[in-house]
Each structure stands twice: as structure tokens, then as C-alpha cells.
């Protein structure tokens, strides 16, 4: 049983972190237009959230928040409204970087999402449903780490799952620890489930920001497969007994993997001698390689171990379209 004083201390801690984090949350309004039935143009505006990451006006939000916009505005906690410029966007991770002409903002600190564990308390803050007034706050825990989006391709591997309530308008807002550090950016919910929301880990945000600010885009090495981590139920099948790795489900025509002879249901077990135990590990190892470099994959095909060299290409733009 929790003592009354302990409950009050916890309550005060939540209140303090909410007060701190709210200062770094903005509303992002995207202006869009839709053609009506009789040819008339109708405005279609959407309100979401963003996270201030520098005092000089840089803001992170979701790619899907700013996709196909015809104008963006950012409203700060003080009520100031600024036109926003898109510095860069990455559909594969659903991260976008905006810039407003403002100084003296209150940036939030990005924490280390790699150190998170299931059960840690977090608060989700954002402009839920675009309601007027201060951003909405919800309290929950990290339910799981390294989650793929249930309906998305492999590019969404590695999300944080939380039971903190996330609603339309929360997209782009922070998921923060009780220390006030942002460990994720709220991105999606599962509409048919209860208490299942997803956030992009802060380490992903940090990596994407660095690449966009340095290169204007994320340069992503690509071999051209869709795959899944070999799990226990697959190991009970004859072809995967005792194997840890990534099973190839699909090979894109003309891709490096296709040219190298990779086939569906090959299992990738190592890259450049480093063990690959899951899809996230494979993607992380590829992300640390350079375009044009040749990597050596070890695969298992029909019980035989094969060495396959593959030259890395930059991922084609059409593979990065949101939701594919």
C-alpha cells in the first residue's frame, strides 16, 4: 500500500514535469485545400503538436503532420503565431524539422531512449483534438520497446509503445519521463485497441535531425528487402529450427539484394561478421554503413550457410512514401 505522503510526492513530481515540458510544446497548424463536388476550393486545416529543440526556432514534428501542406503555422505557448519553414522531412521515420523566426524559446532536452525499460512512467503532452487552452496531458508507462507498427512495413521497426492516452492532435508532441527528458515523439494509435499508442524514440529523432541538418535529407543505405525477425513459432517449423536472424519475405526487383541473388525465405544471420539476431539489429548495422560500400551478408538457405557480398545503394525516394 502506498503511503499518502508518497502519493503526494509522486503527484507533485508529475505536476512539475508537466509544467516544465509544456513550455517546449507548440501547436502546428497545417493549411490544406480540397476541391469540392462542384469545383469549389474548401480549406482543410489540421492542428497537431511539435517539440522545440533549440532556442533559435528549430522544431520537430511528424512528417504526416506537414505532408502535402499549403502553408504551416506554429503557435507557441505564449500565444505567438509564426509562419514555419520545412527544413527537411523523413517519411520512413515520420520525422520532420521545422524552423520559425523566433528567439528565446524554451527547448526540451532529448533523453536516451536506448536506456528505457518497460514499466517506466511517462507523460504524453500535445494538442489533443486541437482543443483551446494549454496542451493536454496524459500519464502512463512504457508498455514495450522496439515495437513495429502493426500495419506498416519494416521501416517503422523500433517504436515505443505506451498506454498514455494519445489522440488526434497529439501527433508530434513529446513523450517525456518524470525527469522532464523527451524520450519519444507521439506518432500514432491503434484505433481498434485500448491504451495502445506509439512514439518515435528520441535516438531516432536525434539521428534524423543530424542528417537533415547536415545533408538536407536522411541518407539511408538500402539492400532492397522486406523481412521479419525469426520468432519462436517460426523456429518450430522445419526450415528455421535453431536459427536466429532475419527471414527475407520480399526482394525488390532490381535492388542490390536481387542482383546479389538473395531469395525469399533466406535467413540473414550476420553482416560483416557481426551477428544479426533481429530486424532492428540488421537495420542499425546497415544504417552505419556508407552508400557504395560492399557489405558481406551471411545467409542460411535450405540449411546451408552462404556468404553473399552486396553493394549498398541509397534507398529510392518512392520507398519512403508514408504508410507504404
Gap between the Cα atoms of 208 and 58, Å rounded = 14
Q: Which of 30, 49, 82, 94 is catalytic?
A: 94
Q: Note if 202 is an active site residue.
A: no
Q: What is the CA radius of gyration of the chain?
A: 22
Nearest CA to 262 among 224, 305, 313?
224
Cell of 89: 522531412
Nearest CA to 264 among 246, 278, 282, 284?
246
Cβ contacts of residue 263 below 8 Å, gap of 6+? 248, 251, 301
Q: Note if 290 is an active site residue.
A: no
Question: Do 127 and 162 contact (CB within 8 A), yes or no?
Answer: no
Q: Which of 64, 90, 113, 143 is catalytic?
A: 64
Q: Note if 171 is an active site residue.
A: yes
3-class DSSP state for residue 208?
A: helix
Q: How many CA atoms lie within 13 A of 276 on its CB side?
A: 28
Q: Other CB atoms closer than 10 Å to residue 64's CB: what's the count?
A: 20
Nearest CA to 90 among 309, 324, 321, 323?
321
Cβ contacts of residue 5 below 8 Å, gap of 6+? none
Q: Which of 49, 113, 171, 255 is catalytic?
A: 171
Catalytic sites, residue numbers: 64, 94, 171
Amino acid at each position: 500500500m502506498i503511503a499518502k505522503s508518497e502519493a503526494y510526492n509522486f503527484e507533485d513530481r508529475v505536476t512539475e514535469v508537466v509544467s516544465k515540458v509544456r513550455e517546449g510544446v507548440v501547436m502546428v497548424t497545417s493549411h490544406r485545400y480540397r476541391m469540392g463536388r462542384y469545383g469549389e476550393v474548401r480549406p482543410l486545416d489540421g492542428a497537431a503538436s511539435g517539440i522545440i529543440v533549440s532556442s533559435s526556432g528549430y522544431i520537430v514534428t511528424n512528417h504526416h503532420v506537414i505532408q502535402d501542406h499549403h502553408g504551416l503555422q506554429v503557435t507557441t505557448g505564449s500565444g505567438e503565431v509564426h509562419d514555419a519553414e520545412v527544413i527537411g522531412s523523413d517519411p520512413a521515420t515520420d520525422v520532420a524539422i521545422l524552423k520559425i523566426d523566433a528567439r528565446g524559446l524554451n527547448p526540451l532536452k532529448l533523453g536516451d531512449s536506448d536506456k528505457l525499460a518497460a514499466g517506466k512512467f511517462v507523460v504524453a503532452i500535445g494538442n489533443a483534438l486541437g482543443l483551446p487552452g494549454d496542451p493536454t496531458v496524459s500519464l502512463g508507462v512504457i508498455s514495450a520497446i522496439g515495437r513495429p507498427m502493426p500495419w506498416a512495413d519494416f521501416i517503422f521497426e523500433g517504436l515505443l509503445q505506451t498506454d498514455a492516452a494519445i489522440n488526434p492532435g497529439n501527433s508530434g508532441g513529446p513523450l517525456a519521463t518524470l525527469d522532464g527528458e523527451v524520450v519519444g515523439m507521439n506518432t500514432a494509435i491503434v484505433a481498434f485497441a485500448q491504451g495502445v499508442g506509439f512514439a518515435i524514440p528520441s535516438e531516432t529523432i536525434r539521428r534524423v535531425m543530424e542528417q537533415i541538418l547536415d545533408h538536407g535529407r536522411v541518407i539511408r543505405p538500402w539492400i532492397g528487402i522486406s523481412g521479419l525477425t525469426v520468432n519462436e513459432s517460426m523456429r518450430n517449423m522445419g526450415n528455421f529450427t535453431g536459427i536466429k536472424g532475419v527471414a527475407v519475405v520480399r526482394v525488390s526487383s532490381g535492388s542490390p539484394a536481387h542482383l546479389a541473388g538473395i531469395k525469399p525465405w533466406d535467413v540473414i544471420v550476420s553482416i560483416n561478421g557481426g551477428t544479426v539476431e533481429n530486424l532492428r539489429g540488421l537495420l542499425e548495422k546497415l544504417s552505419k554503413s556508407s552508400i557504395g560500400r560492399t557489405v558481406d551478408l551471411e545467409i542460411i538457405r535450405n540449411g546451408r550457410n552462404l556468404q553473399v557480398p552486396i553493394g549498398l545503394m541509397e534507398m529510392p525516394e518512392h520507398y519512403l512514401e508514408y504508410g507504404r
